[in-house]
Structures are given as C-alpha cells and as structure tokens.
Chain A
Amino acid sequence: MYTEQVMQHFRNPKFLRKMNNPDAMGKVGNPTCGDIMHVFIKVGKNKQGKEIIEDISVQTFGCVAAVSSSDVLCELALGKTLEEAEKINRDDIIKELGDLPPVKKHCSVLAQEGLAKAIKEYREKKK
C-alpha cells in the first residue's frame, strides 16, 4: 500500500516536532477528516538578501501519508526562498514519496496548504 520512501519518512521523520518561537505558523485540517497539521517556520536571509526558510518543522495528527507528506514538505522547503517554497506543490511531495495511494493524495495537498498559510501569516505580520 505504501512505498518504502513513505515508510522511511514515517518511521524516522526529521521535521516532526514543535518549534519554539516560530516567526509564523500555518494551521490546516480538521478533526472530522482526521488530519491536522501545524507548520512552523523561521525566516532568515540568504547571501543575496532574499528571505529564506531558515528553519521549518511540523506537528501532524494524521495517518502515515499525512505524517510522511508533512516531513517531505519540510525537507523540500528548508533553505528555499519564500517564493520558491510557495511553489512546492503536491506533485513534488508525491514524487519524493515515490507515490501515494489514490485515497491518500489529498494528504500531500494539506502539507502544502499548511506551508502556504505559514508564509502568508509571516508576510502579514511583517506589514
């Protein structure tokens, strides 16, 4: 049912933790559907002075696909500029995971939405 990559991320996630004092946080999902993600980001600047995802973590209530999707999202987003990070989509996540069962593909969308929401919150805070 799940690929080996999915199970690897599920068994040993690198980004599944709470972050203290994040710059912004994106909350997505709801308990009825069984998936909730909180994506935390810290924003820094690269050598060119562009804002980048300096640190990222996630807390996930959800199935194996939700946990591994959120871990992969963090892996893909870390070090990217905010604009680049926003462009990460579900296909990028699914590609990293090998594949996801059809009924689980929505989990990858949720992770992406969580990050988008965190970036949005960061920009609004800055205003």
Chain B
Amino acid sequence: MKVYLDNGATTKTAPEVVEAMMLYFTEQYGNASSLHTFGREAKDALDTARATIAKKLNATPEEIIFTSGGTESDNLAIKGIAYAHKDKGNHIITSKIEHPAVLSTCATLEKEGFKVTYLDVDKEGLIKPEQVKKAITDKTILVTIMHANNEIGTIEPIKEIGEICKIHKIFFHTDAVQSFTKVPLDVKMISVDLISLSGHKIHGPKGVGVLYVKKGTKLKKMSDGGGHEFRLRAGTENISGIVGFAKATEFVSEKDVRDVQKLRDKLMDGLLKIPHTQLNGSRKQRLSNNVNISFNYIEGESLLMSLDDRGIAVSTGSACSSHSLQPSHVLMALGLKPEIAHGSIRFTLSKYTTEDEIDFTIKTVKEVVEKLRQFSPLGR
C-alpha cells in the first residue's frame, strides 16, 4: 500500500485541475497581453480565475495578485510594505513560528536597518493578541502572523490580531498558505490587508500563488518589467497555472474538510495510544488535516525512512533531516526538549486519504516505533 501523508509539503494535483489546465497549454496558449483572439482568450481565462479566487476570499478581483507561489507572495507583502512605508516607521512584528519565507524576509530587512519583534508562542503554538498589542510602537508599520502553522497546524487568532492592527493603523499580513480552503477566510469578516496563498497545497499546480492586497494598500513592487498584475508583479502570466489554481479552490467542499478532520482524529487518537507519545500543537485550534506527534526515544528521520520503506510518506521536524542540523524552530519555540523535537513526525492528510490508509498507518507506525525503540539507548 502507498500512503501519501505529506500534504502539508504538497498535494496531488487533482485530475479535474489538470484537465482544466490542459487547454491553455495546447490550444488557448496566447499571451494575455496580446490584442488578438489568442490573447483575449488568455485574458478571459485570467479574469475568470481572478474572480473565482476573489470570491473565495469575499474580495474583489482587483485585490488578487498572481505570483509564483507562497514564498514570492510573502516577499512581496513584507518587503513591499516595508519599502513603501519606511518613511512612517521601521518596525515589524512577527512570530517565532512563521514559515522560513517570512522569517528569512524579515531577517533580510533587519540587515537593512528594520527592527523586527519575534513574538513567543505558548506550548500549543498560539500567539495571544495582547502580545501583538504590547509589541506595537510608534514605529510599527507591519504585523505578519500566519493563519495556520505548517508544522503543527495551530490556527492563530488572526481576527483579533487584525482588529488590533486596524485600531493602530498598522498593516496586517497573514500567510494563509496552509489554511486556505480548510479554514474560512473572509476579508469582510477579518480585518487583513495582505494574504499569501499557494496553489499546490490545495490540489492545484506548483508554481502559482496569490497575494491578496486590500484596495488602497501601497506596495513597492519587487521586479521591474511590464505592467502585469496591476503593476505589482511584472512578467507574463502563468495562465494554465492560474486556471488550475482557481479550479482547485472550487474543489474542496466543507464536507470534505469535515471528513478529513474525522480521519485526522482517528489517526491522532490511534497514534497517541502508543506509549510515550505526545501531540504537538493545539488539539482544538488545529488544521483539519494536521497531526504532529513526538515519539519519545526515537529520532524522526529514522522513523520517516522506516515508514517510507513501508510505503508511507510523512515529514519530520528532526534536525537530522535538515541541512542545518538544527531541530525545527517551531517545535523549539513550543519549549520542547531537543530530543522530543527530534522524534517528531508530521502526518498531513488530504481529501484523497482513505480510512484504510489511516488504519494501515496506525498499525505500521506502532510496529516501526517498537522496532526502533529496541535500538535506542533512551527510555525504559
């Protein structure tokens, strides 16, 4: 049996999505900037896709900027605000558990003279809105806090954080790459200026993302070129990718989310029955498809590779699997001991995950953990 439980890394592109994209490779391959029929067909496809994604956020099409993915969206949002508003201040507030796309961007800005506050999280990975409030100074121009964490699935209180930012007239950006289509996100309900989204996390294609930019928000563009994407992102539009992304947003229903959550709970409860395990992240404020568990006395990469041998694909926050040899910054921010962080495994489900796969995974993980614990000098 082959079981893919690494949907937090990327997802299977839905066959319906691939089908929708094909036309724009082989027949309607025009450049959306061209005036002829081919070009107009491409432009129509672009406009329709923009409207579809706008609708999903309850935004207007003019607020949707297509990019190459989540990382570019984060860069454009954070640097775009920082550079455009540096006359107003040089202070940015973020958290210690952001995605590297946000943390690295902030680090670059620090080198350029910006000041960044990295908020702590509690042991479930939650940021308290009051922390944001306290960190605000008269130099603060931007708050960037993720909607849901990619490793532990914790959903942050972005509504409350957005309110605080609104009162203080500070831009608020959220990286919603992991939460999009899983947790409702309505820009009329939540006060947010910028949202990063990615296609390939939701059964869309790789290489396409979105930055939602609230009407009237001034951003500095990152690349020079033509006037594409409302002069914010130059370069010929990736029409097939954009069409695929839009198709994917229509693809996961509320029922799918609930069904995935049921399987998630089954997996979580099944794995936590293994002795000396612990759930990382919050049980309540958690993405519908994320399970992150530390298996004490064993190391994550060994567990990952043993599961891979048995057909199950997962990921780990262990240092040994990273090039830096540092354990996951997210797990360390939760206050986990390094050896517990090293033994963490992330299982991320999708609408394609079946109950049989979950049963097989629970059974296999039990066997493998038992085997690897026999090798280990720790515990007992």
A interface residue numbers (CB < 8 A to B): 2, 7, 10-11, 13, 16-18, 27, 31-38, 59-67, 103-104
Contact = CB atoms under 8 A, between A and B. Distances in A.
A64 B305 CA distance: 7
Nearest to B376: A61
A7 to B, nearest CB: 8
A16 B374 CA distance: 8
A60 B320 contact: no
Interface of B: 297-299, 301-302, 305, 309, 318-321, 323, 325, 327, 337-339, 342, 374-378
B338 A34 contact: yes
Nearest to B372: A67
Given A34-B339, A35-B320, A104-B320, 9 more contacts: A17-B374, A31-B337, A31-B339, A32-B338, A33-B319, A59-B377, A61-B378, A62-B299, A103-B325
Contacts of B342: 31, 34
A10 B297 contact: no
The 5 closest A-B pairs by CB, nearest first: A63-B320, A31-B339, A59-B377, A63-B301, A38-B377
Nearest to A13: B375
B297 A61 contact: yes
Contacts of B319: 33-34
Contacts of A33: 319, 325, 338
Contacts of B327: 34
User: Which one of A34, A38, A66 has the highest number of Cβ atoms from chain B below 10 Å of its Cβ?
Assistant: A34
**Most chain B Cβ neighbours within 10 Å, of A36, A63, A64, A65:** A63
A32 to B, nearest CB: 4
Interface centre among B299, B321, B339 (most CB of A within 10 A): B299
A61 B374 contact: no
A10 to B, nearest CB: 7
B374 A64 contact: no
Nearest to B375: A16
23 contacts: A10-B302, A11-B309, A13-B375, A17-B374, A18-B377, A31-B337, A31-B342, A31-B378, A34-B318, A34-B327, A34-B338, A34-B342, A35-B320, A37-B377, A59-B376, A60-B376, A61-B297, A61-B298, A61-B299, A61-B339, A63-B302, A66-B299, A103-B325
Contacts of B297: 61
Contacts of A34: 299, 318-320, 325, 327, 338-339, 342
B82 to A, nearest CB: 33
Nearest to B340: A31
B305 to A, nearest CB: 5
Nearest to A59: B377
A37 B375 CA distance: 10
Nearest to A70: B375
A64 B376 contact: no
Q: Which of A16, A27, A64 has the most CB of B within 10 A?
A: A64
Nearest to B327: A34
Nearest to B378: A61
